[in-house]
């Protein structure tokens, strides 16, 4: 009891707006205007797709138990990029039966065109942690439509480890292209050469070779204070090696799931992954480089790219307002890297035994006569995913009962409700890890690439890399409906590296009753001129 009282007293002393008072769930109304506008995060000005006119878009915050009501107004006009849109709230899953508001085009919904709006209702339930939202339509989020989303826990069991956790401690990394993704995607389809980013960005700022010396993003700290930094990789392709000169990072969250504190000084983040790390400002007052080194693609294919220039500055109060005088490096001289398989959940949990086992073999082929019509396509078990005209959920609500009711190219796997599914990605000779992301749920990461399997207390998360060492994930079908399970390298995703996990089709029909606004999406989208469907 004395220990509990001490923890509660510490929580009340922390300068976080949620602590020290009972926080009752509320409904938060948010409006996002999706517009075209010019931005120059690395000094090169280009037209982009922007939420409320900014890149990254506005941070959405909520508390545990809140309901988010997000009205999205499509005001896009620049036809060099996608004019329709659809929003995915990455990692947020809905536990409320009968509510199914998830923006996966042609799986759970249809996109909506310019001059129209759609409102997403997201009861957050018991979820807490670090998430983000982005366009799920084609490559649109690489044109700019991406931003953080954080669900705070007023009773965070790890609150005693940090002093500050607010919007200023949300940190993002992202890759950035100077050209619209429409011609870039077409070039990839034609040539098999995946586009290499022009720059890496930290908190929406960076530089490219030969470009102007734009101002790096500055993260201000006070000496002897502990900060919970929420790191989000919002890339469309790239992984980032993250470190802070002379500082360690204690990981306490992975993809919205609390972990046992685990200290490193450098960590690799795949596209779509999120971590919370505690950093203590315990060094002499000064300025220190935040290193975010971009990986993914040969810089020789894009001479604009300098992988070390997407970085930031950790600025101590009392230090000069200047860049660090130390050299820019790739990270610590004596690295203590994150080994993902070493992470453990804060609340241990033995994964249930699988009821069904799948093996996903990923491969790339060049085949101009393929059903997709792509010269370049990625496959799962020799099937390249192609979006159906009628969304998967519509087919289920209309009576689809088995995998045979879906086209082969929909790559849809059907299971009963409340079963445990294990997916094994065998070892491969590919150079690049595929960050596979599950919608609607997270998974137990039984085997993390090169690590040994852990059947006792593996972490749960929603993005994990499949590659050379082999990966095993396990999840349940306790949320009825169809859920995307795809590579978060969106160039790969858009040429077929995707699947759909459909659980409990009869339960879906019993529980999911979309409203009139959802019913109207597909007829309205199908009636759009071809140029506005893009």
Please report which helix (H) or strand (E) contains residue 285, including its range: none
Reported as a pLDDT band with limits 50, 70 and 90, residue 29 is: very high
CA 368 to chain centroid: 31
Q: Which CATH architecture has domain 356-503?
A: Sandwich (2.60)
Interatomic CA distance for residues 482 and 468, integer angstroms? 29
pLDDT at 371: 55
**HEC-encoded secondary structure of 353-393:** CCCEEEECCEEEEECCCCCCCCCEEEEECCECCCCCCCCHH
Please report which helix (H) or strand (E) contains residue 273, including its range: none
| pLDDT 10s digits, 186-244 | 999 998 899 999 999 999 999 999 999 999 999 999 999 999 999 999 999 999 999 99
With a cut of 90, say whether residue 429 has pLDDT above it: no
Bridge pairing between strands 257-264 and 249-254: antiparallel
Token duo for residue 57: 């878009």
CB 391 within 8 A of CB 107: yes
Task: Calculate the alpha carbon distances from 190 to 367, 368, 370 in Å.
Answer: 10, 9, 13
Query: Does CATH number 3.40.50.720 belong to domain 2-157?
Result: no
Token duo for residue 300: 């020789």
With a cut of 60, say whether residue 12 has pLDDT above it: no
Interatomic CA distance for residues 193 and 187, integer angstroms? 8
Reported as a pLDDT band with limits 50, 70 and 90, residue 18 is: low
Cα within 13 Å of Cα(345), Cβ side: 20
Average pLDDT over residues 252-257: 98
| pLDDT 10s digits, 62-114 | 999 999 999 999 999 999 999 999 999 999 998 766 566 678 999 999 999 99
Alpha helices in 380-494 (DSSP H): 392-397, 490-493
User: Partners of 293 in the beta sheet?
Assistant: 241
Pick the CATH number of 170-338 from 2.60.40.420, 1.10.260.40, 3.40.50.11540, 2.40.37.10: 2.60.40.420
Query: What does R_g of the chain's alpha carbons equal in angstroms?
Result: 22
**HEC-encoded secondary structure of 173-196:** EEEECCCCHHHHHHHHHHHCCCCC
Place of tokens 């590659």: 467
| pLDDT 10s digits, 294-313 | 998 888 999 999 999 999 99
Place of tokens 């900014």: 54
pLDDT at 271: 98
**HEC-encoded secondary structure of 295-359:** ECCCHHHCCCCCCCCCCEEEEECCCCCCCCCCCCCCCCCCCCECCHHHCCECCCCCCCCCCEEEE
Domains of the chain, residue spans: 2-157, 170-338, 356-503
């Amino acid at each position: 009891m004395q220990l509990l009282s001490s923890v509660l007293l510490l929580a009340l002393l922390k300068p976080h707006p949620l602590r020290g008072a009972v926080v009752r769930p509320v409904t938060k109304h948010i409006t996002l205007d999706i517009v075209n506008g010019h931005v120059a995060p690395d000094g090169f000005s280009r037209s982009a797709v922007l939420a409320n006119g900014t890149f990254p878009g506005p941070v959405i915050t909520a508390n545990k138990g809140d309901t988010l009501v997000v009205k999205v107004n499509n005001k896009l006009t620049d036809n060099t990029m996608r004019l329709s849109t659809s929003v995915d709230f990455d990692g947020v899953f809905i536990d409320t039966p009968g509510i199914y508001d998830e923006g996966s085009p042609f799986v759970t919904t249809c996109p909506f065109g310019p001059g129209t709006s759609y409102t997403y209702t997201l009861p957050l339930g018991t979820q807490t942690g670090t998430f983000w939202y982005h366009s799920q339509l084609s490559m649109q989020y690489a044109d700019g439509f991406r931003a953080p989303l954080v669900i705070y826990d007023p009773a965070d069991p790890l609150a005693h480890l940090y002093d500050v956790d607010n919007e200023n401690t949300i940190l993002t990394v992202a890759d950035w292209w100077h050209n619209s993704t429409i011609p870039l995607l077409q070039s990839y389809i034609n040539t098999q050469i995946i586009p290499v980013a022009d720059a890496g960005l930290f908190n929406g700022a960076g530089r490219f070779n030969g470009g102007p010396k734009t101002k790096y993003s500055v993260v201000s700290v006070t000496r002897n204070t502990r900060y919970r930094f929420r790191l989000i990789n919002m890339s469309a392709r790239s992984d980032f090696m993250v470190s802070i000169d002379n500082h360690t990072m204690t990981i306490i969250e992975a993809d919205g799931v609390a972990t046992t504190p685990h200290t490193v000084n450098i960590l690799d983040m795949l596209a779509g992954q999120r971590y919370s790390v505690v950093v203590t400002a315990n060094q002499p007052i000064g300025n220190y480089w935040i290193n975010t080194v971009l990986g993914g693609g040969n810089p020789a294919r894009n001479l604009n790219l300098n992988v070390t220039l997407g970085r930031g500055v950790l600025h101590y109060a009392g230090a000069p307002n200047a860049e660090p005088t130390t050299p820019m490096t790739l990270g610590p001289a004596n690295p203590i890297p994150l080994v993902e398989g070493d992470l453990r959940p804060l609340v241990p949990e033995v994964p249930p035994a699988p009821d069904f086992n799948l093996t996903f073999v990923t491969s790339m082929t060049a085949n101009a006569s393929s059903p997709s019509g792509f010269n370049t396509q990625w496959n799962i078990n020799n099937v390249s995913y192609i979006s159906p005209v009628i969304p998967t959920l519509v087919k289920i609500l209309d009576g689809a009962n088995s995998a045979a009711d879906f086209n082969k190219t929909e790559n849809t796997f059907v299971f009963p409700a409340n079963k445990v599914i294990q997916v094994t990605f065998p070892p491969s000779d590919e150079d690049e890890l595929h960050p596979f992301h599950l919608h609607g749920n997270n998974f137990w990461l039984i085997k993390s690439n090169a690590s040994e399997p852990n059947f006792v207390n593996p972490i749960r998360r929603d993005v994990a890399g499949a590659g050379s060492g082999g990966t095993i994930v396990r999840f349940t079908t306790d949320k009825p409906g169809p859920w995307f399970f795809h590579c978060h390298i969106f160039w790969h995703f858009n040429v077929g590296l995707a699947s759909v996990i459909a659980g409990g089709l009869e339960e879906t029909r019993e529980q999911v009753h979309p409203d009139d606004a959802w019913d109207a999406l597909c007829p309205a989208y199908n009636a759009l001129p071809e140029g506005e469907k893009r």
